[in-house]
A and B are shown apart, each in its own frame.
Chain A
């Protein structure tokens, strides 16, 4: 995966996806197993059917998914060139609103639908319900700018992080940090915490992690807005990365794929310190229970931030893909099904996981089975 995605994708993927497509198209009436088997053997004679897909397919929503979505759009268009597929990374709130208003066929959202939105979703989905599947799981990296520090990753517990970001620990050579990083020479430098200035799922997940795992060191409520005022901040991931890069002694949090040359923190899980990695991020999703209100169509997860599972990285962002279980138009059903099937397929997940694309964590096979079942239930209004 690390080195060969770009090279190998042409040969295997198109065959795989066409196969998946063919299955979804024929699966409308059948109750067969969902096409989780994405081996090339399943291809059959689907090539002609993929050509039949056409029309407009518009999505909008979370900007966190934006880069992965670009990769998926490119991949999807290779197999279904007649579908005009677009995704507007306008933000989760805007995406949900547009989806519920019927302006787009699918949406991306960093948060699950809220109570009142569920009723609106029923109306929008012609009496059906909203399908929510987690197709984008991305580790959030805690990034810092300390060129003088030799260690590969500084090690910190959630409690230390909470204290740093709350302004209780103000110097890099604070005993609390030193205790967790034995043998690392820490500079006598003021810590400059950097947060996202706009409302975002990244902030919400990070704050939730600090609140859940921080042993009470994080006194603020959890929301997508940063609660501490008077600090450095940046608009969007790029703004945070720019700000952290611009001065020594800064520490911030951002989508892991954008960490670049900056240092990243290994966070304390159980008794060990885990640096971010896609695999570690995927692990925590599997170890987490379903959230309240989850159904077989709403695969919403309550992330377990305090997990002690070895090698799991609980600081992750999950972004859901939203669609309807019922569409009025048969073309919409075919298009949405094909797209979601592709995004959930091993190939689609691998493309998003490419560090050059989005560096996300591929979903596990177990989760994929459930996702495929949910996608399969999409049908035309009777």
Chain B
């Protein structure tokens, strides 16, 4: 899905810049505004907003910016309306609104990354990554997340082990074999599965295992099953997209050479799409690695490292972060540092996905 788009973008974005100079039968009747006008209007509305607020109330940065933005939107539309005409005025207004929407949306997202980065840095260190919480108590600032990293990796890997084969095969079925009602039905079910809330997946794993293993059973595997329920539809979706991008000519060529269908799929279709599939799986992993609620009720928390997925509690980064926050004091710092660790892991996964897709991409395939 992502692979072809940058190329398309390169081509489309250039002509999409409407050139003021372009002569056209529908060109604005009064000519265009000079380039400096929007900036001038922006500066003017800032000054005006400040003065206005000085009269009405005490100006603070947020209120000045907010009222200046509103003033700018109105002013630029009116100016454009007068000089350039109705259509261009609407265009200016739309550009302003889209840009503002983007800027407004960026505030929380940037502040989120900034908060995690700055607060997480307080305790984040090599030692934090390599020690566990054994023997840490009270207001000791030592201790770390080694055990939680181990648990997160073990649980997520187990979830991937369950969901990747199922997801891969289902996607192959949908693209290569499925037809008619069955395929449609399964597509629908995958949609439904995509919508399962994480806590419901957690409850499902809890209900399943406690009915079979007794009410006190907790294990990493239980959490992995919950995560697998969340992860499988994501894997199916992305693999499906990738398989559909494999040109039919390749399949036809293989059939023409007498290659049986299953070999065609394995050797031609999957081989061609492998880069995209790996990326898709990595992104699916990134999606579930930060799930908290299902792990909270299935995996619990532990102070030491445990690789045993089948028996007993494990520590995982999201639950660790939540747990530490609940403890207050130094715990809050640890929670931020754990959150930072988690985001870094997600980033590394993302980067790895990109690298792998570059390495695996068969030369000359598809694009």
Tell whether any CB of A sits under 8 Å from a CB of B in the complex.
Answer: yes
Chain A interface (Cβ within 8 Å of chain B)? 63, 66-67, 70-71, 73-74, 77-78, 84, 86, 88-90, 97-98, 101-104, 236-238, 241, 258, 354, 356-358
Residues of B within 8 A of A77 (CB): 134-135
Residues of A within 8 A of B214 (CB): 101, 103
In whole Å, how far is B55's beta carbon from the nearest beta carbon of chain A? 29
Interface centre among A63, A66, A88 (most CB of B within 10 A): A88
Given A238-B326, A241-B328, also A101-B137 (CB < 8 A): no
The answer to whether A238 touches B303 (Cβ under 8 A) is: no
Given A236-B326, A238-B327, A238-B328, also A101-B135 (CB < 8 A): no
Residues of A within 8 A of B302 (CB): 86, 88
Given A88-B301, A103-B216, also A356-B327 (CB < 8 A): no
The answer to whether B300 touches A70 (Cβ under 8 A) is: no
The answer to whether A86 touches B303 (Cβ under 8 A) is: yes
The answer to whether A63 touches B215 (Cβ under 8 A) is: no
Closest to A239 in B: B326
Given A238-B326, A238-B328, A241-B328, also A357-B303 (CB < 8 A): no
- For chain B, the count of residues having a C-beta within 8 Å of the partner chain is 24
The answer to whether B303 touches A97 (Cβ under 8 A) is: no
The answer to whether A70 touches B328 (Cβ under 8 A) is: no
Given contacts A103-B217, A237-B326, A357-B138, 15 further A-B contacts (CB under 8 A): A63-B326, A71-B138, A73-B137, A74-B137, A77-B134, A84-B304, A88-B302, A98-B215, A101-B216, A102-B216, A237-B328, A238-B328, A258-B329, A354-B138, A357-B137
Given A74-B135, A88-B300, also A66-B327 (CB < 8 A): yes
B125-145: which residues lie under 8 A (CB-CB) from chain A? 134-139
Q: Kindly state the separation between the CA atoms of A84 and B132 in the bound complex, as whole angstroms.
A: 14
B279-334: which residues lie under 8 A (CB-CB) from chain A? 300-304, 313, 323, 325-329, 332
Closest to A359 in B: B138
A-B contact pairs, 26 of them (CB 8 A): A67-B138, A70-B136, A70-B138, A71-B138, A73-B303, A74-B134, A74-B135, A74-B136, A78-B135, A86-B302, A88-B301, A88-B313, A98-B216, A101-B215, A101-B216, A103-B214, A103-B216, A103-B217, A238-B326, A238-B327, A238-B332, A241-B328, A258-B328, A356-B138, A357-B139, A358-B138
A-B interface, 3 closest residue pairs, ranked by CB to CB distance from nearest: A103-B216, A70-B137, A357-B138
Q: Kindly state the separation between the CA atoms of A90 and B206 in the bound complex, as whole angstroms.
A: 15
The answer to whether A238 touches B325 (Cβ under 8 A) is: yes
Closest to A237 in B: B328
Q: Kindly state the separation between the CA atoms of A357 and B216 in the bound complex, as whole angstroms.
A: 29
Given A236-B326, A238-B326, also A90-B137 (CB < 8 A): no
In whole Å, how far is B263's beta carbon from the nearest beta carbon of chain A? 50
Residues of B within 8 A of A63 (CB): 326
Chain B interface (Cβ within 8 Å of chain A)? 134-139, 214-218, 300-304, 313, 323, 325-329, 332
In whole Å, how far is A76's beta carbon from the nearest beta carbon of chain B? 10
Q: Kindly state the separation between the CA atoms of A356 and B137 in the bound complex, as whole angstroms.
A: 9
Interface centre among B138, B214, B302, B332 (most CB of A within 10 A): B138
The answer to whether B216 touches A71 (Cβ under 8 A) is: no
The answer to whether A104 touches B216 (Cβ under 8 A) is: yes
Q: Kindly state the separation between the CA atoms of A236 and B136 in the bound complex, as whole angstroms.
A: 21
Residues of A within 8 A of B304 (CB): 84, 86
Q: Kindly state the separation between the CA atoms of A100 and B311 in the bound complex, as whole angstroms.
A: 19
Q: Kindly state the separation between the CA atoms of A356 and B136 in the bound complex, as whole angstroms.
A: 12
Residues of B within 8 A of A90 (CB): 300
Closest to A354 in B: B138
Closest to A5 in B: B138
Q: Kindly state the separation between the CA atoms of A74 and B300 in the bound complex, as whole angstroms.
A: 20
Q: Kindly state the separation between the CA atoms of A73 and B304 in the bound complex, as whole angstroms.
A: 12
Residues of A within 8 A of B326 (CB): 63, 236-238
Residues of A within 8 A of B218 (CB): 103
Residues of A within 8 A of B332 (CB): 238
Closest to A99 in B: B216
Residues of A within 8 A of B329 (CB): 258
Closest to A101 in B: B216
Interface centre among A70, A77, A241 (most CB of B within 10 A): A70
Q: Kindly state the separation between the CA atoms of A97 and B218 in the bound complex, as whole angstroms.
A: 13
Residues of B within 8 A of A238 (CB): 325-328, 332
Q: Kindly state the separation between the CA atoms of A78 and B136 in the bound complex, as whole angstroms.
A: 12
Q: Kindly state the separation between the CA atoms of A358 and B332 in the bound complex, as whole angstroms.
A: 16
Given A70-B136, A237-B328, A238-B327, also A97-B313 (CB < 8 A): no
The answer to whether A97 touches B215 (Cβ under 8 A) is: yes
Residues of B within 8 A of A88 (CB): 300-302, 313
Residues of A within 8 A of B325 (CB): 238
In whole Å, how far is B138's beta carbon from the nearest beta carbon of chain A? 4
Closest to B216 in A: A103
Residues of B within 8 A of A356 (CB): 138-139
Residues of A within 8 A of B327 (CB): 66-67, 238
The answer to whether B216 touches A97 (Cβ under 8 A) is: yes
Q: Kindly state the separation between the CA atoms of A98 and B300 in the bound complex, as whole angstroms.
A: 13
Residues of B within 8 A of A237 (CB): 326, 328
Q: Kindly state the separation between the CA atoms of A97 and B14 in the bound complex, as whole angstroms.
A: 66
Residues of A within 8 A of B313 (CB): 86, 88
In whole Å, how far is B100's beta carbon from the nearest beta carbon of chain A? 29
Q: Kindly state the separation between the CA atoms of A104 and B138 in the bound complex, as whole angstroms.
A: 24
Interface centre among A90, A102, A238 (most CB of B within 10 A): A238
Q: Kindly state the separation between the CA atoms of A311 and B139 in the bound complex, as whole angstroms.
A: 29
Q: Kindly state the separation between the CA atoms of A377 and B192 in the bound complex, as whole angstroms.
A: 57
Q: Kindly state the separation between the CA atoms of A102 and B214 in the bound complex, as whole angstroms.
A: 10
In whole Å, how far is B336's beta carbon from the nearest beta carbon of chain A? 14
In whole Å, how far is B199's beta carbon from the nearest beta carbon of chain A? 15
In whole Å, how far is B96's beta carbon from the nearest beta carbon of chain A? 35
Q: Kindly state the separation between the CA atoms of A70 and B303 in the bound complex, as whole angstroms.
A: 9
